Amino acid sequence: MINEMLEERKLPSLLVMNDGRAVTRDIFAERRAEMLAILSDKVYGKMPASLGETTWEEVSCESNIRGLAQTRKINISFPTPYGESFTFPVSVTIPNSASADNKLPALVFISFGYLKYYPIEEILEQNVIVAEIQISDIAPDSSQDEFKEKMSRHYFTDGQREPDSFGKIGMWAYAASRVLDYLLSLDCVDADRVGVMGHSRLGKTALWAGANDERFTHIFSNDSGCCGAAITRGKEGEKIPRIYLKFSYWFCKNFSEISSSVEDSESTYFDQHFLLACCAPRKLYVASAAEDTWADPVSEYLCCVAASPAWELFGIDGFVHPDNLPEAWDRFADGNIGYHLRPDGHFLSRHDWMRFIDFLKK
Ligand code: GTR
């Protein structure tokens, strides 16, 4: 049943190189580079090359959460093309149990800054380090700044972007990688379990961060929908022309070219399973919500199925799932792609967090 549903979406092939060669495990790295190039060029814009080391400075360190943890406020800086560095804050909460002898998993949480999305006490009780960045510190989530403020000011003269320069999603994702630079310098962080997570537009961002930066071992997307974890062809709810109309600043300028054609399988040669496949063979987790029809849980589920062959190429399980669509409360997390369908609508809940943390700790 699921394969038939997928066939109806008429997706471009994941494991065929642009020149027609079949992709084997030995050349998957080349295929990943091709897929990243397509997504960079047409959707999210190019990630800038690193111009030097990321540095950091601790601004404060306080005991927090009933003495369970400490919260360090750190300013992260990285060099930019015009010579000055760009600095943004991150709040890193580290359970007291963490040490060089007891390394803990860590998560970069790309955040809107709403506390209701962050059950921090329960996360800490699970012995996980969380580094929270707030996107407004990196680039405002709006087109009103005309790409002249915060990080943009260091990349564009008078807000002028090249056709393939990154949009806001790319900037937030780039910043998540700079936080990872910091986390990996801490001897209490388990480098084999460092994830990136975000909800909705920030779920798209977490996927793009994880697709690009292979040091992220676990990638978590919550309700990311259109241009995130949902297949575009045949998608319900939000579609490309609409997302482009309202949120073109999330993407590169070239996105305008595909905004009308991406659902036409003849003229577009990619879909969102390419984005998920760029995370292979690492651990990927996609969470959907049953009533979130704007994001489209069915298209998110099918995208996991469509991306799975990239993992299987490595002789490991990709998405292990039954031959039917999920029901609310279903969770499939035996393979290297995990998935759950929560009841209710579009938000980041305690339930989602706890499933993510299980997967990170597994
Ligand atoms: C919606 C947008 C979605 C999703 C969401 C969010 O308005 O259409 O793509 O990203 O915002 O970020 O909450």
CA 241-304-183 angle, 5° bins = 95
Q: Whose CA is nearest to atom 13 of ligand 1?
A: 200
Cis peptide before 309 (omega within 30 of 0): no
Strand 85-95, strand 283-289: pairing: unpaired
How close is the Cα of 43 to the center of ligand 1, in Å? 16
Rg of the chain, C-alpha, whole Å: 19
- How far apart are the CA of 275 and the centre of ligand 1, in A? 18
Q: Average pLDDT over the chain, rounded to whole? A: 96
- Whether residue 93 has its Cβ less than 6 Å from ligand 1: no
- How high is the pLDDT of residue 226? 97
- What pLDDT, on the 0 to 100 scale, is given for residue 260? 67
Q: What is the pLDDT of residues 268-302, one digit of tens each?
A: 789 999 999 999 999 999 999 999 999 999 999 99
Q: Of the given ranges (26-35, 106-115, 207-216, 271-280), which has the lowest mean pLDDT?
A: 106-115
Supply the residue whose CA is at minimum distance from atom 12 of ligand 1: 201
Ligand 1 neighbourhood includes 111 CB (under 6 angstroms): no
142-194 pLDDT, tens digit per residue, is 999 999 999 999 999 999 999 999 999 999 999 999 999 999 999 999 999 99
Give, in order, the Cα–Cα distances in Å from 274 to each of 16, 47, 239, 348, 360.
11, 17, 17, 25, 23
Query: Whole-model pTM?
Result: 0.98
Contact assessment for residue 104 and residue 195, using Cβ atoms and an 8 Å cutoff? no
Q: How far apart are CA 307 and CA 223, in angstroms?
A: 17
Q: What's the gap in Å between 180 CA and the centre of ligand 1? A: 25
Closest ligand 1 atom, residue 238 Cα: 8
Q: How far away, in angstroms, is 128 Cα from ligand 1 center?
A: 28
Helix (H, G, I), strand (E, B) or coil at 199: strand
